[in-house]
Amino acid sequence: MLRASEPSTSTRTPPTFTLTPPTTPVRPQAFETPDFEDRDRESEASAGAPRQNEDSILPTAEESLSWESILPRPCTIQYQRLGSGSSGSNILGSGAWSSVYRATELSPAEAALLPTPPSSPANSRSQSIAGQVLAVKAAARRDAHAILYQEARILTYLHRFRRASSYLVPFHGYDAAYHSLVMDAVPLNLETHAKSCLETAKANFSTGTMFDPVCGLAEWQSLASQLIDGLEFLHEASCVHGDIKPANILLQRSEDGSSDSYRPLYCDFSSSHIVEHASSDASKPLQQVTAISTDFASPELFNSLCSSAGTATTASDIYALGVTLVVVAIGTSPYVGARMEIQKLSMAREGRPLEFARQTGQGTRVMKGKMVEKCLRGALEKEADKRDKIEEWQRTTQSLIDD
């Protein structure tokens, strides 16, 4: 990831503690928020209240809290983070600001055996699914505390909407004592899956499938449709993700357990922004850019980073998802031919990922006039104001799938 500068934490600094592996989390009273399930039940029971369309993500009156009023939802689950182990198998991921560790949920009896018993009683949820594997995202350095706190606020805000569970990794709350986010563990990400599909495609090369994505046409169409729908959800909720890439999309197997059907879930909102009155104008500034993932950054973000006055927008999210879907189609970066990082940077700034993808060993899978190219070309326009809006992209994709 290419970084411009350390983000300022002057306006969002939470209490600081020494970062140590947690024994059991403490329910932070300072961040108490309303019970979401009770609020939803009260909303459904309100006689004569205006009803929202079931397909709408707009909140009910009770859910309409302003972004500025949102505090992180406190984690009430009793859990124990697992050590990294000699192979690092309990580390699910790591980045510049944080690491994600595997953890297990504890039953009340197990929690009572720990050296420091929890101060808050185990809730009914803990009793019913104790033993569930969790993912705990913890700060890797002290100056990341404010970033994780802000991410917890964003996840709390987004999970108020009914459709959130269809597109986001389930979020169980913020552990203020250890500056950690607690979520469901979903071990497989889209980056790993795309690489695996590439290896399989190479081993089973066929002229009959050489024009299809490495994961297969049906799976690519399914992933593209779901991810575009998920991005539409985020943007309607006034959220710009800011760092869409295959590593930040987790794959949950379908409920029937089939290995060829996945539900993609967005994760890692550490670069995200909430704008209460998002403009339909793709060029409207949202928040200054502090870091970008080179392969997935739109041309305007490169220019913004150089001027130190950059902004992430809904248009840059659309571009990043477009490049992500190129990677899913060919199994690797469209800039894989670059010999040095500086050359890759130069290629990415040109805003021609489809053209560079066609020059790779899997270029036939993104040929002009084929499904992938027709679906992505509007989303990958170099100029932001010419790029497809999310609704246009949804319609184009669905039309191509239906043909």
pLDDT in tens, 9-32: 434 444 333 333 333 333 333 333
Question: What are the backbone dihedrals phi and psi of residue 395, each rounded to the nearest 5 degrees, phi first?
Answer: -65, -45
- What is the radius of gyration, based on Cα positions, of the chain? 22
- Per residue in 293-349, pLDDT tens? 899 999 999 887 765 556 789 999 999 999 999 999 999 999 999 999 999 999 999
pLDDT recorded at residue 45: 38
Give the β-pairing of 91-94 and 98-105: antiparallel
Residue 196 has pLDDT above 80, yes or no: yes
pLDDT at 308: 54
pLDDT of residue 303: 82
Model confidence at 118, pLDDT cuts 50, 70, 90, reads very low
| Non-local CB neighbours of 206 within 8 Å, separated by 6+ positions | none
When the pLDDT of each residue in the chain is averaged and rounded to a whole number, the result is 80
* pTM score of the predicted model: 0.79
pLDDT given at position 185: 95
Asked if residue 15 lies in contact with residue 71, where contact means CB atoms within 8 angstroms, the answer is no
Q: How far apart are the first and last CA of the chain?
A: 38
CA gap 215, 199 in Å, rounded: 10
Average pLDDT of the residues in 257-280 = 78
Structure-token pair, residue 358: 């066609």
> DSSP letters of 169-237?
--EEEEEGGGTEEEEE----BHHHHHHHHHHHHHHT--TTTTTS-TT-HHHHHHHHHHHHHHHHHHHHT
* Distance, CA of 277 to CA of 68 (rounded, Å): 12
In the predicted structure, residue 79 carries a pLDDT above the cut 60:
yes
Given pLDDT bands bounded at 50, 70 and 90, which one contains residue 91? confident
Q: What is the mean pLDDT of residues 176-186?
A: 95
58 against 381, higher pLDDT: 381
